[in-house]
Amino acid sequence: MTWAEWYAALAKPSWTPDGGTIGLIWSLLYPVIAVTFGYVFVQAVRRQVPRSVALPFAVNLVANLIFTPIQFGLRNLPLAAVDILIVLGSIVWCMSAVWPHARWVAVAQVPYLAWVGTATVLQLSITLWNW
């Protein structure tokens, strides 16, 4: 069965967004993520901010990128749940680490935090209902 058939067959909450909505949300968030994360990484390389400020951004980037292969490639719901918790926690870490240096970057993460918070509740629900 394809990943789409597998995902469609999972028990999900009634409020689960359709694929088009999820795609639209990510298409709005990714440019903000690219600009803000890029800014932090450039500032860290230039030593305008401590490299420790860039660490949570790197953790978040890796965790975000591996979610899809875990969820839809491996079809491992518990591991995907752990991964999305790392994504969520690292957003908070990013915001607190960058706040003293570039508050606009922290504020720009609020929509990302809100979406990933929602996605985390969704992922944890799907994991519990299908485990």
* Residue-averaged pLDDT of the chain: 97
- Is residue 91 one of the residues assigned to a domain? yes
DSSP state string for 33-96: HHHHHHHHHHHHHTTSS-HHHHHHHHHHHHHHHHHHIIIIII--HHHHHHHHHHHHHHHHHHHH
**Radius of gyration for the chain, computed over Cα atoms and rounded to the nearest angstrom:** 16
Q: What is the pTM of this model?
A: 0.95
Q: Which two tokens stand for residue 1?
A: 């069965």
Tell me: the pLDDT tens digits for 29-88? 999 999 999 999 999 999 999 999 999 999 999 999 999 999 999 999 999 999 999 999
- Is residue 36 one of the residues assigned to a domain? yes
- Is residue 105 one of the residues assigned to a domain? yes
- Is residue 10 one of the residues assigned to a domain? no
Domain of residue 96, residue span: 18-130
Tell me: the pLDDT tens digits for 72-131? 999 999 999 999 999 999 999 999 999 999 999 999 999 999 999 999 999 999 999 998
- Is residue 7 one of the residues assigned to a domain? no
